[in-house]
């Protein structure tokens, strides 16, 4: 097995053992005017951001906050490329520290 394949295998294993960490992100959703009114009854329909051209013309773009689980494998792979093994160890320690803080 090549070192690249072994690294991937090791990082995938470590990532599967780490706790789920949620990140706050913002997603854009394309809604019809009726859906937007239903989901945002307190907002005046004149203030919606309408799409001006293209296949979704006349629809509304809504930004919504969401919680997304971070991808530990991707993060560790990127850190490994930049900082090597010490960077990955530091990342794992930070995640474990977050977990302890969350328990308290």
All structural domains of the chain with their residue ranges: 1-20+71-104, 22-69
**In this predicted model, which residue has the larger pLDDT, 29 or 71?**
71
pLDDT 10s digits, 60-97: 998 889 999 999 999 999 999 999 999 999 999 999 99
CA 28 – CA 50 distance, rounded (Å): 13
What's the pLDDT at 1?
Answer: 64
Which residues are registered as beta bridge partners of 47? none
In terms of pTM, does the model score above 0.75? no
| 3-class state of residue 103 by DSSP | helix
CB-CB contact of 48 with 36 (8 Å): yes
When pLDDT is cut at 50, 70 and 90, the band that residue 46 belongs to is: confident
């Amino acid at each position: 097995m090549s070192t690249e394949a072994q690294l991937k295998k090791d990082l995938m294993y470590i990532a599967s053992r780490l706790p789920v960490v949620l990140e706050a992100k913002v997603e854009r959703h394309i809604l019809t005017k009726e859906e937007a009114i239903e989901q945002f009854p307190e907002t005046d329909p004149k203030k919606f951001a309408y799409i001006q051209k293209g296949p979704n013309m006349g629809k509304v773009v809504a930004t919504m906050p969401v919680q997304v689980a971070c991808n530990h494998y991707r993060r560790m792979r990127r850190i490994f490329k930049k900082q090597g093994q010490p960077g990955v160890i530091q990342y794992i320690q930070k995640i474990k520290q977050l977990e302890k803080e969350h328990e308290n």
